[in-house]
């Protein structure tokens, strides 16, 4: 088995081995993974953080040993970058910009230094909203996981990660986590609301705020009204998403 770590700001994870395939997620700096299959230009990998599997370019993989992989995986108080944009530095590569949500426990493995702000503990639920608001106006990007491009479930996953909690990668997977609530009135800021399409498949998620508002990614990261029907966009004056279930994860 081979192992790797993301040594760049952001690395695309694709559905298959080719640049024309869909980007299903991204690795952020410091996230590590197993290499399941290796071809001439591409490798199939599995993320240690959320078990997502996909394909990355071989020349974007920084190889690590099994011992290093296991040592990283055993770290309990993971250091996660809390600045919107920060930098790591090294003698060989100079400054590398990294984004909020990157992991910096392993910068010593990469022989790089980090001097910015980070969190390494489980925050309270009320802190989730403060983190979520930092992503306001971040553009929608399928598979994205950064302030410069993010999708709905990538947004919720990162907000929870920065506050010391783990969510799976997709909205469907996240909807299986936590405890279901019967009514919006039972929810608290920081709980998750899930939405389905006409076929009944969950395809969207957002973070509930106080006073029946929700912050989510639709075109960009934005705040809209939430009621028992779903998300109401006050600009277009219509419902954009149909409410399926509300979950309390923490």
H-helix segments, the chain? 66-73, 126-133, 152-162, 171-175
37-61 pLDDT per residue, tens: 999 999 999 999 999 999 999 999 9
**Predicted confidence band of residue 95 (pLDDT cuts 50, 70, 90):** confident
Q: What percent of the chain shows pLDDT beyond 70?
A: 99
140-171 pLDDT per residue, tens: 999 999 999 999 999 999 999 999 999 999 99
Look up tokens 């790591």; give the residue: 88
Q: How many CA atoms lie within 13 A of 77 on its CB side?
A: 5
Q: How far apart are CA 186 and CA 161, in angstroms?
A: 24
**Predicted confidence band of residue 106 (pLDDT cuts 50, 70, 90):** low
């Amino acid at each position: 088995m081979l192992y790797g770590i993301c040594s760049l700001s952001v690395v695309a994870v694709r559905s298959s081995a080719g640049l024309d395939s869909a980007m299903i997620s991204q690795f952020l700096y410091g996230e590590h993974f197993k290499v399941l299959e290796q071809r001439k230009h591409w490798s199939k990998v599995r993320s240690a953080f959320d078990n997502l599997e996909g394909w990355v370019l071989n020349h974007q993989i920084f190889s690590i040993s099994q011992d290093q992989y296991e040592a990283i995986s055993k770290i309990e108080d993971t250091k996660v970058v809390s600045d919107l944009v920060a930098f790591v530095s090294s003698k060989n590569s100079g400054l590398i910009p990294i984004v909020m949500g990157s992991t910096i426990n392993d910068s010593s493995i990469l022989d790089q230094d980090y001097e910015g702000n980070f969190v390494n503990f489980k925050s309270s639920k009320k802190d989730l909203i403060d983190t979520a608001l930092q992503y306001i106006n971040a553009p929608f990007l399928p598979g994205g996981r950064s302030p410069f491009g993010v999708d709905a479930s990538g947004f919720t996953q990162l907000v929870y990660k920065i506050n010391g909690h783990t969510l799976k990668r997709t909205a469907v997977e996240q909807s299986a986590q936590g405890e279901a609530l019967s009514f919006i009135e039972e929810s608290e800021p920081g709980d998750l609301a899930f939405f389905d399409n006409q076929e009944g498949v969950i395809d969207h998620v957002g973070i509930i705020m106080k006073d029946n508002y929700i912050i989510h990614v639709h075109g960009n990261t934005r705040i809209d009204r939430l009621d028992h029907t779903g998300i109401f966009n006050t600009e277009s004056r219509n419902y954009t998403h149909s409410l399926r279930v509300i979950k309390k994860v923490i």
